[in-house]
Structure 1
Amino acid sequence: MKGVHFPVTAVALLVLAFATLLASASDPSPLQDFCVAINNTDSAAVFVNGKFCKNPKLASANDFFSDKLRYPGNTSNPVGSIVTAANVDDIPGLNTLGISFARVDFAPNGLNPPHTHPRATEILIVLEGSLYVGFVTSNGDGNRLFTKVLYKGDVFVFPIGLIHFQLNVGKTNALAIAGLSSQNPGVITIANAVFGSNPPINPDVLAKAFQVDDNVVAYLQKQFWYNNS
């Protein structure tokens, strides 16, 4: 029995159609924490996954510009670091483009505490100093820790959603620039979210989760959890 032969163009079209089907089968990436549906739009504000767009004929160069990353941030705080973001709230032209940046300044021994970006992968380049950086994989991967000491010019990637951190291990100030794959990547600092939530998480939940005494949880919840971003 002779095999059936498809023209190359037909096979290519089938592959393209299948790839398009797969690409359209998933939800678009969220650009905010949630979007509660409402039926009556006359009595409530409407928040969309992104921002409304201005008439392109009214756009100017300033819509695509920011000088925020030019200036060093103030690292005189409990963690010794400060993050200066340049996202769609600062640069309107970033809307729908899926990218943003951040400047991270570190004092000696300064820490950008363990945190996660729920909507973005991050790529970090060190401009000055040396940083000990790392991320932890998900539960299914065994919570493996990947770390590296970075020096001037080095680059490191933090995959989307994974907990990661940066610590200045040098004796001088350090500076890094981060690129993120979302116009609004979001940030959740782990300690702040767990022990500084509003209202506080029930201490019994945290005591059992961390397997510590209730007094330890109460102490941690009373601390001031500084937000460096």
Structure 2
Amino acid sequence: MKMILGFFPVIVIISLAPFVYASDPSPLQDFCVAVGDSAAAVFVNGKICKNPNMVVAEDFFFPGLNKPGNTSNAVGSRVTAVNVNQIPGLNTLGISAVRIDYAPQGINPPHTHPRATEILVVVEGTLYVGFVTSNPANKLFAKYLYPGDVFVFPEGLIHFQYNVGKTNAYAFAGLSSQNPGVITIANSVFGSDPSINPDVLTKAFQVEKDVIDRLQAQF
């Protein structure tokens, strides 16, 4: 009988496992407006809460997503993020947004969001977008998107957007985290600090060392 009772908590935990999902911390009050890191005396998974009596409307506000981002850079795109670092009131709410601007043939290079699924809606232009599934399938799901079209990039998977048109394009996206994070593949692999040993990358990409040297030099 004691053995059966001992296993009961384990059985309960196993039975509940399918209903447990990874997500940002859930709020236990109306809001938890973030205190700026420079003012924080402790570190937590997220940000500590501002005194509710000190909260103001501006803690939930961000202006300017109507303004195009500057795409004069090597990849021809600009991401304007609106996460907990821009709107402190997003803390614990599990959501954020971005505006992405693309010059003609501009690309938002292959990247991942380690903590968020992304849903993208095209406002202007024509984008070629896609994501790749995890090993071993590495299957590409890709589409051409036009104004009003929506596409979803699952959490953690490598994805991209490319402006195939001859005019500027832009899109808005929502992400299921207050702080989704971003890992741009090329920057991380070839631009790490300190640099990854070229022998590692030569073996991984099956190319000559001078190719790796050129790539690392660019980043």
TM-score normalised by the shorter chain: which range applies?
0.7 to 0.9
**Structure 1 residue aligned with 2:151, among 139, 147, 156?**
156
**Deviations 1:81-114, CA, capped at 9 Å, x for gaps:** 0000000000011000000000000001000000
The range that moved more, 178-187 or 59-68, is: 59-68
Name the residue aligned to 2:117.
Answer: 121
Residue 47 of structure 1: how far off its partner (Å)? 2.2
Is 1:191 the counterpart of 2:196 in the alignment?
no
Cα shift readout 1:4-41 (whole Å, capped 9, x = no counterpart): xxxxxxxxxxxxx87994378677659xxxxxxxxxxx
How far apart are the structure 1 equivalents of 2:101 and 2:199?
37
One-letter amino acid of the structure 2 residue matched with residue 130 of structure 1:
T
Partners of 1:123 and 1:25 lie apart in 2 by: 22
Q: Which residue of 1 aligns with 2:65?
A: 69
Q: Structure 1: 5+ residue runs without aligned partners? A: 1-16, 31-44
Instruction: Name the structure 2 match of 1:172.
Output: 167
In structure 2, C-alpha distance between the alignment counterparts of 1:139 and 1:202, rounded to whole Å:
24
Task: Tell me how far apart the structure 1 counterparts of residues 203 and 58 of structure 2 sit (CA, whole Å).
Answer: 51
Deviations 1:188-218 (A, max 9, x none): 0000000010000000000000000111111
Q: Distance in 2 between matches of 1:160 and 1:55?
A: 32
1:84 paired with 2:80, answer: yes
Per-residue deviation, 1:55? 1.6
Alignment match of 1:208 (pick from 188, 203, 211): 203
Q: Deviations over 1:31-73 (max 9, x none)?
A: xxxxxxxxxxxxxx64211100012222111111001422110
Aligned-residue RMSD, C-alpha? 2.1
Please name the residue that 1:107 is paired with. 103
Counterpart of 1:138?
A: 134
1:47, 1:53 → 2: CA distance?
11
Identity percentage over the alignment?
A: 69
Amino acid at match of 1:115: H
Structure 2: which 5+ runs fail to align?
Answer: 1-11, 26-40
Structure label with greater radius of gyration:
1
TM-score under structure 1 length normalisation: 0.79
What is the identity, as a one-letter code, of the residue corresponding to 1:95?
N
**Closer, same or farther in 2 for the Cα pair 1:58/1:29, shift >3 Å?**
closer
Per-residue deviation at 1:177?
A: 0.4
